[in-house]
Amino acid sequence: MRVVIFGTGENSAQAWHILLHQADVEVIGFLDDDAAKHGSLHFGRPVIGGQEHFASLRAQHAVTHVLVAIGNNAARRSTHEAVRAAGLALASAIHPRAVIDPSARIGVGCIVEMGVFVHPEVTIGDGVFLGGSCVIAHHSTVGHHALIGGGVVFGGRVTIGDEALIGVGVAIQPHVSIGARSVIGVGSAVIKDIPHDVIAVGVPAKVIRSLVAS
């Protein structure tokens, strides 16, 4: 499978190192919307150009899949839409040292770092980033394009909305829901439901700000 990675930041480094473990994947280059990077090398591969190249990747480079490796959830979602519109498939990068129960369902276009545990009956959406050593406990659901930071621990039956960002080391009580696009600060303990489009922090986590412009 010939793959291009979209993004040249830290997220792309994670993706690159994970894909090195996948013998059936050949990364032929990178794309990035920062024109200053075009023509340079990243991990020894060319930065071909920006999103405008999606349409020609198949014909010019025999590329079938794009792995979108950018940390911003909304940007990852819109880039996925552009990849699909160009008739390409979304690649995932799943570290071989992640443990995923066979009963769990994982969408396309996900990045799963080393040491992640995904327990039975979990549902993970498309374009989700699971940071190193996080634990997604049984019957939990993670919405599309959410980002779960390293070391996050879920109790069972937790629900995370689309594009939510759960900061590094957060603990989430069983059965709790976190709304779409909300952000939970590093190290927080979430013991009650958190609405959509807010920032919540602390132990226990409390809402400190809305993310909706007033």
Ligand X SMILES: CC(C)(COP(=O)(O)OP(=O)(O)OC[C@H]1O[C@@H](n2cnc3c(N)ncnc32)[C@H](O)[C@@H]1OP(=O)(O)O)[C@@H](O)C(=O)NCCC(=O)NCCS
Would you tell me which residues interact with ligand X (CB under 6 A)?
131, 149-150, 167-168, 183, 185-188, 199, 201-202, 208
- 115/185 with CB nearer ligand X: 185
Q: In the bound complex, what is the minimum distance in angstroms from residue 205's beta carbon to ligand X?
A: 8
- 65/162 with CB nearer ligand X: 162
Pull the structure tokens for residue 209: 């700000």
Q: CB neighbours (10 Å) of residue 208?
A: 12
Assess contact for 138 and 120: CB atoms under 8 A. Answer: yes
Cα atoms in the 13 Å half-sphere on the side-chain side of 33: 9
Q: In the bound complex, what is the minimum distance in angstroms from residue 116's beta carbon to ligand X?
A: 12
Assess contact for 149 and 91: CB atoms under 8 A. Answer: no
What span, in angstroms and rounded, lies between the C-alpha atoms of 77 and 70?
10
Q: In the bound complex, what is the minimum distance in angstroms from residue 144's beta carbon to ligand X?
A: 17
- 85/208 with CB nearer ligand X: 208
Q: In the bound complex, what is the minimum distance in angstroms from residue 209's beta carbon to ligand X?
A: 7
- 105/209 with CB nearer ligand X: 209
- 62/208 with CB nearer ligand X: 208
Question: For residue 117, which of 137, 147, 96 has the smallest C-alpha distance?
Answer: 137
Q: In the bound complex, what is the minimum distance in angstroms from residue 201's beta carbon to ligand X?
A: 4
Give the residue at shortest CB distance from ligand X: 185
Q: Concatenate the DSSP letters of all residues of 38-55 into one string.
A: TT-EETTEEEEESGGGHH
At CA 9, angle to CA 59 and CA 87, rounded to 5? Answer: 25
